[in-house]
């Protein structure tokens, strides 16, 4: 393993976007997603695209790496586009054959949906590229903290997330070891049909679960030994602080929102 998988997709460079407060980034991405779904005019998508490209540049992440994230979903995008094309039957008919009817509105609609999916994935990818899972967890805990008022266990949830992050690489390593051990006993994991392969994984999963439970046992002791739940007034060592960057980013974002709303509703009579 060459990459540290605790970092997930994180792309470790120093940039404006990397240094933003995770809370701000999370909120902005949520607004961005809502924006992508509300925007309806193709012209407005040009603005969204331009904004996304600017953001990628500001993040100092190579376009190639960002585009890689699209590779995984390109099939879904094409599939939904085709479905949309086939099922959208109202409007001006462009072409019809047997039961297949393709309309102008259908074409426009499926292009928009495809664009939405792509922009959605690209935007969230940018978030995970510029923010470590750890700081995302911190950001989420902080954003969710008002829910404490309705007795939602925000802190427990954030500990669960943090432990999950901590144990992913450990369990991955364990899977490697168990697979190796089973291979040494003559097991094969990459032969046969899907069913056979799934069955071959059983002798990997069972020891993995056994070990995971054993780990959980010791972990529970370790949590208690370190006074987990000792006081409701738990303190936080890591303090998230806003800086001028967060202000700049928010202003840029506000400008962007105004722009897409204006273009989307054709305030300026551009088209």
Partner 1 sequence: MDTIITIKDVSFNYVTGEQISRGVKNVNLEIERGSFVVLLGHNGSGKSTLAKLLNGFLTPTEGEIIVDGINTADESKIFDLRSRVGMVFQNPDNQMVASIIEDDLAFGPENLGVEREEIGRRINWALDIVNMSEHRHRTPTKLSGGQKQRIAIAAVLAMLPNILILDESTAMLDPKGRSEVLETAHKLNKEENMTVILITHYMDEAIDADRIVVMNDGEVILDGAPSEVYQQTDVIRRAGLELPVAARVSEKLIERGYPIKFCLTDKELAEELCQLK
Which residues of the shown chain bind partner 1 in the complex (CB under 8 A)?
4-7, 133-134, 159, 162-163, 165-166, 169-170, 215, 218-219, 221-231, 233-239
For partner 1, give the closer residue by CB, 185 or 239: 239
- State the minimum distance, in angstroms, from the CB of residue 202 to partner 1: 25
For partner 1, give the closer residue by CB, 50 or 222: 222
For partner 1, give the closer residue by CB, 123 or 139: 139
- State the minimum distance, in angstroms, from the CB of residue 143 to partner 1: 18
- The answer to whether 42 and 111 are in contact (CB under 8 A) is yes
For partner 1, give the closer residue by CB, 196 or 214: 214
For partner 1, give the closer residue by CB, 6 or 41: 6
- State the minimum distance, in angstroms, from the CB of residue 163 to partner 1: 6
- State the minimum distance, in angstroms, from the CB of residue 134 to partner 1: 5
- State the minimum distance, in angstroms, from the CB of residue 171 to partner 1: 10
């Amino acid at each position: 393993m060459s990459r540290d998988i605790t970092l997930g997709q994180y792309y470790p460079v120093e940039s404006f976007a990397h240094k933003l407060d995770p809370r701000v980034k999370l909120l902005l991405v949520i607004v961005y997603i809502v924006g992508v779904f509300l925007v309806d005019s193709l012209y407005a998508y040009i603005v969204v695209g331009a904004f996304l490209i600017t953001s990628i540049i500001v993040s100092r992440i190579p376009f190639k790496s960002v585009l890689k994230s699209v590779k995984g979903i390109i099939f879904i995008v094409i599939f939904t586009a085709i479905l949309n094309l086939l099922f959208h039957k109202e409007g001006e008919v462009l072409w019809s054959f047997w039961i297949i009817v393709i309309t102008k509105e259908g074409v426009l609609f499926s292009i928009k949906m495809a664009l939405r999916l792509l922009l959605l994935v690209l935007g969230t990818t940018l978030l995970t590229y510029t923010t470590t899972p750890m700081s995302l967890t911190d950001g989420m805990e902080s954003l969710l903290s008002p829910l404490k008022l309705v007795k939602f266990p925000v802190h427990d949830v954030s500990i669960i997330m943090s432990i999950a992050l901590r144990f992913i690489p450990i369990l991955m390593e364990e899977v490697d070891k168990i697979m190796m051990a089973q291979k040494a006993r003559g097991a094969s994991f990459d032969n046969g049909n899907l069913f056979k392969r799934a069955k071959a994984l059983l002798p990997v999963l069972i020891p993995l679960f056994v070990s995971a439970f054993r780990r959980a046992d010791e972990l529970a002791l370790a949590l208690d030994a370190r006074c987990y739940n000792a006081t409701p007034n738990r303190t936080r060592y890591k303090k998230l602080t806003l800086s001028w960057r967060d202000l700049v980013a928010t202003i840029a974002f506000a400008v962007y929102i105004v722009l897409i709303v204006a273009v989307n509703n054709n305030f300026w009579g551009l088209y």
